Each structure stands twice: as C-alpha cells, then as structure tokens.
Chain A
Amino acid sequence: MYRIVEKRQLSAVVWEMVVEAPLLAAHAKPGQFLIVRADEVGERVPLTICDYDAERGTVTIVFQPVGASTEKFAALEEGDAFADVVGPLGRPSDILDMSEEELKSKKFLFVCGGVGTAPVYPQVKWLHERGIQADVIIGCRTKDLLFYEDKMRSVAGNLYITTDDGSYMHKGVVTSVIDELVAEGKTYNHCVAIGPMIMMKFCCLTTEKHKIPTIVSMNPIMVDGTGMCGACRLTVGGEIKFACVDGPEFDGHKINWAECMKRAQMYKTQEGEAKLRYEEGRTHEGGCGNC
C-alpha cells in the first residue's frame, strides 16, 4: 500500500498529494509519469510526476477530479493509502540528456496550462539547480484556479501569469503572452508546454510561427502504461508512437493534434456514466423516454 502523507487543496478544483513510494521516488526524473490505482476495483490512472524526494521516499501528484476514478482519489485523506502507485514510467525529459554547454546555450520558455503547472515545476527546478533560469508562463481561467505561484517564482527566471478573465495579472491566454514576449524582442530556442490538449495545440501553433522548437507532455488514454496495450498510440511526424514508452514528451510541432483530441473522447459516455454511478449511485434519471 502507498500511504498518503500530505493532502492539500491547491485551488477550487485541484488537489496535491504526497505519497509514500520509496523505490519510485529514488528513480523518478523530470518528465516521467506514474500510474495510480485507488483500490481493488479502480482504474489505472496515469499522472505526470510533479515532484519527488528520494530521501523521504515520497512522490507528489497533482490532479483535478474529472471522472469517477479521480473523484475517488480526492476522497482519500492523509493516512489513507492507494492500492497501487507504480513508476516512474516513460522517458525522462529531453533536457536531462543535454550537456552543460547545451543547457547554458538555451533560452528556455515553459508554458503551463491549468493542472499542467504542477509537472512543469520539477523541470524548472531541475534547471534552477543547475544555475539556469527559465522563463515560465502560467495560464488559468481565473485567479481562483491559480496555484504554485510562489513555488514557481522561487525557481523560475521571469514568471508571467495570465488569466482568461483578467482577474489576475495579464488578461488573455498563454499564446498571447508568447506573442507579446517575442514582440518585445525576447528570444527562446526551447519551449516546453504542458497543460490541456487544446492549450498545448495552440501553444504549438504559436511557437511554430515564431520558430521555437516545442516539447509537449502527452497524457492519452492508457491501460497498463508499460508498453503492452497500445491504447496510448498517437501519430508523431507520420509515425505511430506509444506515449508510455516512446514519450510522454514529444515534438509538439509534429503531433497529429486532431487525432489525439478525438482519441481522448473515446470513453466519454462510459466515463460520464461512471461518474454518475460514483456520485449518485445511479446512471438513470428517467423521464427522457429514450430507454
């Protein structure tokens, strides 16, 4: 069992948990993910690793409850345990393969959308520990959904925050901030974007325009996460890739986004039913006359 040692609500919709998983914590690297299962009947849910502490033997996960499985996670309290936490999975981030000179020669820009802010943090921290200041843009719908502001500020170079409704700092979406920074004369030659698929797609369209190579972290539907089921396949540069073993990070300019977005919808009906079953104990309201 994998005990939850800390649980924190980061925003109205986002939770952070620090979980005991010593072997995983000792081997985790920025960019990798893990798989969590709440209980014996639970799904295997892939989540990007948001922090790790080898000495303490813990990993940090951040999630937004969107379906029955993640609702179950949110219902667990400190002292409770997950049935399974397995990983680290996937390849570590590309920045880990870069030499010191290469790292020093790069101008990094990280773009975070919503819950994607959390997995960006260990990458920026990793660079900070090596004396490299990366610029970071955090975008969210409204101020109440913002989290990790101070944490990110402590490791980032410049931190730009933007809200869709203008309730805090810039008003607008992350792509408009990228455009503004480039217009101001800032140059970047390595961008990492993590967030909702739609945000990553538009971020890539923008950076392509500015010729900034961009890496994204994909989180497609998975079952085992170890390179067995093929559910997580996506098309990158015309080739089939498996996010669990070839990714989760890919060249965002080469991804077939339309296909990825459609594939993410595959179980929407069942997921909706499962959520109703979890929350209300039934899926039928009656009265529609269709059943």
Chain B
Amino acid sequence: MGDVLKKIPVREQDPKVRGTNFDEVCYGYNEEEAVAEASRCLSCKNAKCIEGCPVNIHINEFIAKVKEKDFEAAYQIISKDSSLPAVCGRVCPQETQCEGKCIRGLKGEAISIGKLERFVADYAREKGIKPEVSCEKNGHKIAVIGAGPAGLTCAGDLARLGYDVTIFEALHKAGGVLTYGIPEFRLPKDEVVAKEVENVKSLGVKILTDVIIGRTESLDELFEQGFEAVFIGSGAGLPMFMGIPGENANGVFSANEYLTRNNLMKAFRDDYDTPIYKAKKVAVVGGGNVAMDAARTALRLGADVHLVYRRSEAELPARAEEVHHAKEEGIKFDVLTNPVEILTDENDYVTGIRCIRMELGEPDASGRRRPVPIEGSEFEMECDAVIMSLGTSPNPLIASTTIGLDTNKRKCIIANEENGATSRDGVFAGGDAVTGAATVILAMGAGKAGAKGIDEFIRKKYA
C-alpha cells in the first residue's frame, strides 16, 4: 500500500513512442489499481465531489462499490446520472470539478475520480454490461437535434423517463465533438465513443444521421410530425479567425477543419480517402484544449509544432493534463506571442508568421491580465502551416430558419440554465449552441437540464 495522500499513478504510453501513433495515451487503471485508489476515498457522508459534477453522479456511492470490487453495481450507479461515463472519465476537467472539491485533496492529492469512472465504464464495456432501463414507455415523442454530448445526454435521460426519443444528426456519424473534434489518442472512436452511443441506443433512442434540422427538415416540421418537444444541441459553429493579413493562404486551417479531417474523416489512416495537408513545421494559434488537440495531432502527423499563445502560461485555458502531455510529447510553447501577419510565397502558400511579443497589463473583463503588444518586438517565425484555434461561434442554421427563437448578440440561442427553456414554447436548448464553445461535461449538464425541463413541460401539459 502506497502513500495514502498520493494518487495511484496511471500508466501512460511513452511520450516518445506515442508521438508517432494515434493510440490512446492513457492506459487507465487495472482492477488492482482501481481498488487501491478507491480505498483512499474517505466516503464522506456529505460528499462535496457530487456538487462539483455538472451531472451530479453519485460519486461516493460508486467508489464504495469499486472498493468492494462490485464493478457492475458501480457502473449502474454512474449510469443513472451519466450516459457517457467512458467519455467523461477521459475528457472531463475533473481537477476543477469533482476532484477540485474532494476532501482528500485538502491535505494531499484528491481521489482520481475521473480515472475510476473510466475504469468502471471500460470494465462494463468489456464485460458487455448495459445500462439498466426500468421504466415503462410513456408514448410521448421528443426530438433531439444533434448527437453530441448535450443531445446524447438529453436523449438518454428522457429515454430513462420513458419518452420515445429520436436524435437528428447532421453528420454521417453520431457523437458530435466526441467524433469530429477530440482526437483518437485521447478518446478512441470505435472502442469508446461508438460503444457509448450504442448504450444510449440500447435505452430505446433512435438516431437518424444525415439530417440537418434547418435544411433537410425545419424545426416546425418536427412538431407537425408529432414531436411534442424539441431539444437543440446543435453544438459549435463557424470557426473564428484573427482578421490578420494572409489568413486565407494555403496552409491556414481552423482547428475544426484540421481535427475534423483527422478524426471524423480519419485522414491519418491510409485506408481513408481524406487528404490532409502535410506540413513540416506547424504553428498552432490559441491555448485551449482544442489548440492542444490540434498541436498533438500535427505532431503525430510528423510536424515540428509550436503553440503560439498571446497570454502567459498561467493563463492557458487548456487543462493542466493536456498541457503536460503536449510538452512531454515535444510541443514547443511560444507564450506572450501573437501573430500579426501570415507570410506567404508567390503561390499563396504559407512560409511563416510575423509575430509580436506581448506583456500582461491590467485585468480585462474575464479577470485575466490583458495581453498588450510590446512595441518594436516583431519577429518572424518560419512555418508551412498555421492552425487557428480561437474558438467558434454557434451554428446559425437553426436560429436563422426558426421563427420566434431568440438569440443573443453572439448569435447563441437564449436558454434558461435550469431547464433549457427557450423563447419558444416546447423548444429547449443547451450546450455550445447556447454557451458558445465550452466543455463536453458542461454540454452534458445542459442536456440533463434540458431533459428535466422537457419532462416538466410534458407533465404540465397533461396535468
């Protein structure tokens, strides 16, 4: 038995090796490690970790079952609150959520809740254990737009309450950002994402791909077809660019494009037809999780990668674990640096970026110190591709084709945080379509709130 104040370390693929493949970085706990880690849990009566979880998983209860080696029971406890535990165990920012509230963490290291969740979910998958459905069908039809984290969660919760749920997905594969955005090496597609989608389907949820609500069918037509309520979880939209010269040159990509080509369209595999730009030196602009994903993808595709971020390392919005992994793999961080122009050759291919050094000034609206350019500090950095990872603005398709659906000035759908209600009766929304680019788990939290809102709406209608 190790030091009770320290986490049981998790095994990972060697950074030198993993930089050359797309296999999963983190191996996760085995049974013995999971039980040892679970045994560190203080089993608090008033478990703070649950408050830290956007979908309020009964963490203390599932960890207690892991301690007893009753992994199936642990899985069923998690499944009551989360439709995607194998995903969350891998990509949630636990350090600021459940683990951030862990009492064990006051003195020593918090329990590795995320790694335990992952272990339980992986165990269930390997053993073919499915989430339990106990309730009767109530016959009410609900439409969910988007098969990403918000939509899958909302659909899963509603199906458990007995609703007849159909998800409409615009792309050819379900999963949303889990499929097109987060790379294979962090979240395996076939083994993890596809299986969790199957679990949601096993609750009775139907998923129709290749249907773009707002184009293939309008939201109003869904009501005409007998759907009694609609949840919009259409996710992120158009990528943002900086507005600097040269941004449309050949070799400049949004992180969305670069990642979609590689994840959804599997450009990294020879047996897929998708082309991807082969670059020797890549500059990734931005400091969020998506920037880390793009940088680590470019590295695996053989490039020397520099991450260019305008604030200092302390302000990087990415999870600490992602930054750590990126550095281990050899990504170079050029912080307090901002591109001012993209340089090109006579055929408009990228040859480099002109950057300016920055310093931190007074705090801005976000509370972070505002980066200010240092006059005369401009310099050129050679590169043959630039990936812009600056966030996205919500997809305009549904809002622009639906009458009476209010949006704010950032084009986000306005929805009540508690129940997802929008300005239209019977229409609920959540996830990136409402908040702008955020995390998987926040979208799941919004999907959960939407399911609760829809259930209340239907009950009231028939009361």
User: Which residues from chain A sit less than 8 Å from chain B, CB to CB?
Assistant: 23-24, 27, 37, 41-44, 68-69, 72, 83-89, 223-224, 226-231, 233-235, 240, 242, 245, 259, 262-263, 265-267, 270-271, 274
The verdict on B375 contacting chain A, using a C-beta distance below 8 Å, is no
From B172, B216, B264, A27 is in contact (CB under 8 Å) with B216
Q: Is the interface of B mostly helix, strand, loop or mixed?
A: loop
A267 to B261, CA, bound (A): 13
From A69, A89, A229, B257 is in contact (CB under 8 Å) with A229
B-side contacts of A43, CB under 8 Å? 265, 273-275
User: Which residues from chain B sit less than 8 Å from chain A, CB to CB?
Assistant: 170-172, 180, 209-212, 215-217, 236-239, 241, 247-251, 253-254, 256-257, 260-261, 264-266, 271-278, 347-348, 392, 395-397
What residue in chain A is nearest B272 (Cβ atoms)?
A41
A-side contacts of B236, CB under 8 Å? 228
Most buried by A among B237, B257, B277: B257
- Beyond A68-B273, A227-B395, A266-B250, whether A89 also contacts B256 by CB under 8 A is no
Contacts A72-B273, A224-B170, A242-B238 supplied; 4 other A-B pairs, CB < 8 Å: A227-B237, A240-B247, A262-B347, A270-B275
When the two chains form their complex, are residues A85 and B210 in contact, meaning their CB atoms are under 8 A apart? Answer: yes
A24 to B170, CA, bound (A): 12
When the two chains form their complex, are residues B275 and A37 in contact, meaning their CB atoms are under 8 A apart? Answer: no
Distance of A108 from chain B, by nearest CB (Å): 26
Distance of A47 from chain B, by nearest CB (Å): 15
From A41, A89, A266, A270, B212 is in contact (CB under 8 Å) with A89
When the two chains form their complex, are residues B266 and A41 in contact, meaning their CB atoms are under 8 A apart? Answer: yes
When the two chains form their complex, are residues B172 and A86 in contact, meaning their CB atoms are under 8 A apart? Answer: yes
- Beyond A43-B265, A230-B238, whether A267 also contacts B248 by CB under 8 A is no
- Beyond A88-B216, A227-B397, A228-B236, whether A267 also contacts B257 by CB under 8 A is no
What residue in chain A is nearest B217 (Cβ atoms)?
A23
When the two chains form their complex, are residues A271 and B275 in contact, meaning their CB atoms are under 8 A apart? Answer: yes
When the two chains form their complex, are residues A228 and B216 in contact, meaning their CB atoms are under 8 A apart? Answer: no
Distance of B293 from chain A, by nearest CB (Å): 14
A262 to B345, CA, bound (A): 12
A-side contacts of B348, CB under 8 Å? 259, 262-263
A-side contacts of B212, CB under 8 Å? 86-87, 89, 226
From A24, A68, A83, A89, B172 is in contact (CB under 8 Å) with A83
What residue in chain B is nearest A223 (Cβ atoms)?
B260
A-side contacts of B273, CB under 8 Å? 41-43, 68-69, 72, 274
